[in-house]
């Protein structure tokens, strides 16, 4: 079984992070969350990490004079905690190319739709669900994929389908998909730990 050490990147409330923290606490996660990084000093994700005694860091490119310094700060934290899998959980910044290359095939993201549909720049949050409803799709869901140098274009690792109801709004569809996202992320990480999904 792979010894997975997760660095979770999150920008806002951190509900996907909390689902992973809960799974870890209850022994349902075959991995250890070793640090949490947020570009938002007021994020719920940082509060959730601190409440769970997980090292939490506010790192934003705005804090640094150069991109090199910003990238070095991120890598220093990842190295310090021996992270070997980066988990994006509602992280609203593009990951620096240097990190994507250093951790090639070892950065995961969860997307609230069935990729390859409804991915790409600007496709996040309610924008995704609005696009699904406007297209008249009967099914949506969530996708865990590898992060590469293009938005939402990395290899798909796992998906779950969720029915779109006739009276759905972007908000109701988002709320119904979210619990499935939470389960899907932990399930995918466990499959990687058990080598049922190979990242290389």
Q: Which residue has the tokens 């992320």?
A: 185
Is 129 in the active site? Answer: no
3-state helix, strand, coil in the chain (%, to 5): 40, 20, 40
Which 8-state DSSP code applies to residue 63? G
Q: Give the chain's largest Cα–Cα span.
A: 50
Of 12, 81, 106, 111, the catalytic one is: 111
DSSP state at residue 77: H
Q: Find out whether 115 and 156 touch, Cβ atoms under 8 Å.
A: yes
Active-site positions read 111
């Amino acid at each position: 079984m792979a010894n997975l050490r997760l660095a979770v990147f999150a920008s806002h409330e951190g509900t996907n992070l909390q689902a992973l923290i809960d799974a870890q606490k209850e022994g349902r996660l075959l991995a250890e969350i070793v640090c949490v990084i947020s570009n938002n000093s007021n994020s719920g994700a940082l509060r959730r990490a601190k409440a769970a005694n997980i090292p939490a860091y506010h790192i934003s490119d705005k804090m640094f004079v150069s991109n090199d310094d910003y990238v070095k700060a991120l890598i220093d934290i990842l190295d310090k905690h021996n992270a070997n899998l980066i988990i994006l959980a509602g992280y609203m910044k593009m990951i620096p190319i240097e990190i994507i290359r250093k951790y090639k095939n070892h950065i995961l993201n969860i997307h609230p739709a069935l990729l390859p549909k409804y991915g790409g720049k600007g496709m996040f949050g309610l924008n995704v669900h609005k696009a699904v409803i406007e297209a008249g799709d009967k099914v949506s869901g969530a996708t865990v994929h590898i992060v590469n140098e293009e938005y939402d274009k990395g290899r798909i690792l796992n998906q779950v389908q969720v029915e779109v109801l006739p009276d759905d709004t972007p908000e109701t569809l988002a709320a119904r998909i979210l619990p499935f996202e939470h389960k899907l992320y932990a399930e995918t990480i466990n499959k990687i730990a058990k080598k049922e999904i190979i990242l290389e």
